[in-house]
Structure 1
């Protein structure tokens, strides 16, 4: 065995030396510097307005109907909420992580990009970064000024919020049994009657969880917007596949906007911050149209398959994938199903219905990944 190793060692060293001398680089193909743009400028300009309409409707409709006096059946919010959760999860896996792997694994990059799964690693780092941000937010309640007020009812001293999402926080006051649950702060009858809950808002984990949800919504917006920029640029310079991509992105942006809009609508914003979700929804709605306009402006010089674009697209798609993976799996699936008091006490048929709607949203969004 030792003799065999000594015999093969010189060949192994020679192969490594050849690799270092640049033989591998010579075999690496050059990244293209052109694109598939084939004219049809008028149709491409129309995409700016059509996709803007689709994106705005998806993102703004849940927010505006929630804030207005327009009566919308509660079942519509229920379906939109869980359908949007499935859309966000499918977007992370199919529309972000997969393109990131393809971009950073392109054979024309070569070198370090070819010997390590960087897209997966960057997505993993993004997940840990997001968890740390939420951990700090829970600890220090950074966004408390954006959250709605916490109210305490004197009947059973139940702490409530504007959304049942926060019922997973296992910290409330049980005055009937005279027991202080961990992390809760007792209020005497005089404080409750006077509405003096300021100290409770400072100390209660519920106010911290409110801040964490606000932070999660901002981060979700960040991840979705990056993705919207790149698909807008890709549509602007698409070639033969433009027609198919155009139609698919109309639905893609509408579904993704619905997912974002339902999260914005279900977040308990403070009364003086109700303009924030509207601005965030509108910001999402105009991102892809602006990216399409920019892509058309540089349609003769921009290449979506050049080395620099592949690397930048791959990195940002991987970061966004990690953000949406964490948000979808933890904030949406785990909190809405496992830790939600509403779901724990609801009939099992309602839970199954919510799960089916979420799977439907994920399935339709994953199907769109066949073309975009």
Structure 2
């Protein structure tokens, strides 16, 4: 085997081993077995939301394992392809070698694409994504561009088999949309699409200008992780202080003459609630705990909103805040201004072929994080 080919195969093997280590295949197989057991329960669909989460996670985990195992199989088959090519002669040898080289190039690209997934290790990266697109400066062209981006992302999700749901669309008067919000219902959708957040810029001959002039327009893409809310709030007994005291005010002789009133202090947050309406101290404590749970839930939801706000891009959709340019005239090019990644086929990009931009964005973000 050619020494350069052997060295390349060794490098691919090292990269794949790193991916397998990060994916933790024994853990992944155990997770799949557990999810298959849950999915097989007869009462699974009694809770449709929970069932959907289980089946979605199972499908994702099975797909992830299948992709890694397939890459491993292809890598192990490659040396055999080169050995077969060496056994051939003449034109057959050239054709067999070309096939082996093509498979090696394809395998390198597939391993590189999967390697990007291992870079998604942020706190929210595993979550589904909520995407909002808003028309920016540029009038009707901006509204039309916003609709083009909506179609682009929906087509991207469709190509990958990711379910989507459009929650809200505000249509512009002449053409296009003012804004739209949709959810991508797939694990790691947020981590994947979060690098798409920012201002996108379109340069083209405006189809809405009767003089055929070139127009620059903008649209803003916002990507947030879907909040996973659980309305039940667990309260550790060690985190509360319970004080009892004698009730005051009207309520009858029994209420006013016993230490039945309860005051609960939640030590981590300092929240204080009390209840003295019931005759029994046990009843008052139960009521006070319900109030405390409600207050803690409201606090958690406020914190989640603050976290989501912190993830939003503060830039406006206009000059100076751009992250990607789509140029249709006077030449054809789509270029990411952060990563320098570019392609000369805007039609394909707007049809949803944006994986190259996403992968480059994820790698760029990781470098920025490491530098920081």
Bigger Rg over Cα: 2
Give the TM-score of the pair, scaled to structure 1: 0.25
Give the TM-score of the pair, scaled to structure 2: 0.25
Say which structure is richer in strand: 2
Say which structure is richer in helix: 1
Work out which structure has the larger RCO, using CA pairs closer than 8 Å and 6 or more positions apart in sequence: 1
